[in-house]
Structure 1
Amino acid sequence: MLKFFTTFYNGFLDRVKSLLGSFDPPNSFSWQTLIMLSLFSVFMAWLATGLMRDLLAHFGCIFLILGVYWGTTANKALRIGDVPLSPWITGAITSIYIFRAFVGELSPKALIAWPLISAVIAALPPCLDENFKPKIPPKEKRQNLALLLTSQLILSCWFQFYFVVQNWLIEYPTLLTDNFRQSAFVVQMPTLEVVNIPQVKILPRGISILDLTASKLKDELNDKPWSDVERVLLPKKREELLRKITNQVKEEMKQEIASAQIQIKEDEFWQVEYKNISMRGSGYNLELQALWQGPRSQSEPYSITKSCQITPVNEQIGEESFQISEVKCNPATGWGVGESFAATQ
């Protein structure tokens, strides 16, 4: 056992010495010197305070960027074919430094800017002479530079497009219910099936809006004297009631979003309509319809319908019998619940 630990300890020391030896500057003018200056600046920044700390930290990052670019450029093994990886490695560090130091956070913009920063770094050597003065690149390199810049611009646009789509899915979760089969850019990834764990079906937010609307309708009309309910269901009173319920639903949905601290913006694109009330037996039938007017794959708005029945029931209290109202609502049907369909105009 002692021999094992001795061998392990010696091997660990050899690896540490080998690692430190790779950073041992062969002379004062080398990339290893810049890395050492970077580490020294960071250490001194850790000891300093105020403006001096920030200044030393900036110098440490600049020395690191220059040292990494020099070292990776000198390493001929860091290539894919004839393309050196040095500009992209340096560009990644530069992008992180810029957005950390000047923007204050490492946001998705750092990834979006990374290809463009890398392209600029890769294009600098042909555009600078030995004295670091600007020059016109040779003719044989101009085509490659144009291809480099345009390809990195396209890559940056694709990164931007990815984050735009992800933000849409956060702000408009109903988009997850839509069909992307016709899209040339967006692919909906299938959900992984886990044994004994049922898959969660993603439903449009309009269903929650209709459920809350139906709940408010029950609070207003359920267990009320039938004669009062019939008066409320007259056209003028009905419009006032439905307007009141709509405002209550909007306010509660806003409070739900605020309490959950999420950025959902799609509620304003849900339009709730109340179809004309119709007689059904001895009672009434009221259809609630939510129309999705937001981003969608079809030109027509999608609709979800919820049907509520308002009927009289006999209530017996002692020897006295009278009628009260009972409100029952069916589950929502339509887009995203069963088979998707567009609203008929």
Structure 2
Amino acid sequence: MKKVYLDSAATTQVRPEVIAKMQDALAGCYGNPSSSHGFGRTAKTAIEKARKTIAKYLNAHPAEIIFTSGGTEADNMILRSSVRDLGVETLITSKIEHHAVLHTAEALAKEYDIQLWFVDLDSDGNPDLDHLESLLKKDGSKKLVSLMHVNNEIGNITDISAVGKLCMENDALFHSDTVQSIGHFPWDVQKTNAHFLTAAAHKFHGPKGVGFAYIKRNAGLKPLIFGGSQERGFRAGTEPYHNIVGLEEAFKAAYDNLEEERNYVTELKRYFIEKVSKAIPDVAFNGLSGDMEGGTYTLVNVRLPFDPEKALMLLFHLDLKGIACSKGSACQSGSDIGSHVLTEILSNEDMEKPSLRFSFSKYNTKEELDYVVEVLREFGCD
């Protein structure tokens, strides 16, 4: 049976050079980075080198990079500390954010009795910047805006430079969940006007369980996890040295090969759209996932003209055929509730049709896509 992995928006295959780097770290550098002896100093030096590498590619200062267990922790840390320590009284976000942001915002609204406002979306799922501006001007409360750069389900790309400019003009803090875009798009934090960004290594061919937060210097955030003084006091706990050097290796590879790999994956997406549109003429693309400019090059979210009853078996059928994809984000795969993203932008009639997210990487081929399209076509014809 063929094995085709098209779920890279959920997690990516780890690069061989990253695995090698981590194996070397696990075998040869096992000192605690907080220890003062040579073993510890070696590990600490490597961690600081990784911090400098990331900062260089983002045009940030090394002190602005804080290692975390991933994007979810980073989102929680930023939003919670902003409310608890910076006096944020109003959170502004959208209803199609990742649940790491949405659920945190909802919890904070209850715990701290703050205002939670949602920016309007257009029919494709893009935030209405005019409405955002009106919310920013609505009252004199201290505000934090949290809008993701690339949506993890429909791939829409938000103009976060424009969002950042609006926030700056209205004296608001700005956080963006950039988990789906860091490692896939070039970055210059000096041009985004963002105070906070988040990233996860496993989205760009690195290990799971490690990521980082970009926290602009002098932002005033305080730690949520107390203990030692690791990560400049932002995050106590012994640093996972092997994961951090793995993140660095994956990050370097992502940006050193960005143009070549982006062109390759972009062509895969274009090819898939062409093939599936020809094989299944009534197929539709949710959000801007079928748009080569307005949506990320890494994924498409297709809505298939299949009978709803029959479609209940579609993911199971694809799995039997060795095809890995997703009906939404992987974080929701155990839930019977439909995609909160698609619920916001699709009609009830369109929600009855099966939607699948196919996400691509440098490890995919056109031959794999041919196979997937043929399996979909045959399923629709049976």
**TM-score normalized with structure 2 length:** 0.19
**TM-score normalized with structure 1 length:** 0.21
